[in-house]
Amino acid sequence: MFVLSVQTTGLVGLAVVENPHERLRILYSKILGVLQNIPKDAAYRKYTEQIINERFDLVKKETDVQKLQDKLNSGHIEEVIVQAENELSLARKMMQWKPWEPLVEEPPSDQWRWPI
Amino acid sequence: TVRPKNEVQQKQLCAFGEYVAEILPKYIQQVQVTCFNELELLIHPDGIIPVLTFLRDHTNAQFKSLADLTAVDVPSRQYRFEIVYNLLSLRFNSRIRVKTYTDELTPVDSAVSVHKAANWYEREVWDMFGVFFANHPDLRRILTDYGFEGHPFRKDFPLSGYVEV
């Protein structure tokens, strides 16, 4: 039986991760790798790289888990890991959808007029 | 009395609306913020799943909760039904509305793959309006009677129905 210093996250369904820095490092490098494949001028790539680099720098600098949680200001470290996994799957789907292209189709002129 | 204007929240919502419109120009046709500080994204129907997945998964926009999924019938328009998704972000305590359009015969992508909560809401929209959702796991009537014909919430459906009770 493992005896961790933090026994439980307090959240249902989220187990405590014993090496969050390593996991986050892997996830963030994977995300940055996926982002290299989308065009450089896409706004998604620009903003996501900014967010991920900020978080990556914080993870590299701060070794204490509690202080890292406070600095990231985004809930438990396990939640940050879940969010990074979501961002990775989103980046992979964005590569296929290519949302940076111009508008697919203009709506009819009266479509969004309110009142009718 | 009049509700006091919350300028800070208005500015934040405007900024976030511009942020999302810059990231997804392929699908977003219009962005508006109402005077009651409600952000609305007006989408092309092809972009439902990309936009909802983006809003759910992106770090700056963790709208994990689908609060509501309804439709509005405006018979005078070419695409008469307006599908409305209301999302809530628990991390950032903010709400957003995503609106799409369709007519009676064009199917719309189901949001069940993005939000499990959309299951019964889409069944209700199908039952009441007649909007077909493609890739829905189980699209059947949910509120009307078993042999009921017609879609009651449409504007051309009479108030006391076609069948005498």
Over the stretch B31-59, which tens digit does the pLDDT of each residue have? 999 988 999 999 999 999 999 999 999 99
Work out the minimum CA distance from A99 to partner chain B, whole angstroms. Answer: 5
Q: Report the residue of A89, A94, A95 to disrupt the B interface, i.e. the one with the largest count of B CBs within 10 Å.
A: A94
Q: How far is CA B50 from CA A97, B15, B139, in A?
A: 7, 21, 22
The per-residue pLDDT for range A34-90, each reduced to its tens digit, is: 999 999 999 999 999 999 999 999 999 999 988 999 999 988 999 999 999 999 999
CA angle A86, B68, B160 (to 5 degrees): 155
Residues forming beta bridges with residue B43, ordered by sequence position: B28
What's chain A's length in residues? 116
Q: Which domains does chain B carry? A: 7-134 (3.30.460.80)
The per-residue pLDDT for range B57-101, each reduced to its tens digit, is: 999 999 999 999 999 999 999 999 999 999 999 999 999 999 999
Assess if residue A50 is contained within a domain.
Answer: yes
The interface residues of chain A toward chain B in range 89-108, judged by CB-CB distance below 8 A, are: 89-90, 93-94, 97-108
The number of domains in chain A is: 1
Distance of CA B101 to the CA centre of its chain: 9
Which is nearest to A51 in space by CA: A31, A36, A30, A33?
A31
CA angle B122, B152, B131 (to 5 degrees): 35
Assess if residue A40 is contained within a domain.
Answer: yes
Residues of chain A neighbouring B17 (CB-CB closer than 8 A): none
Q: Which domain holds residue A59?
A: 20-97
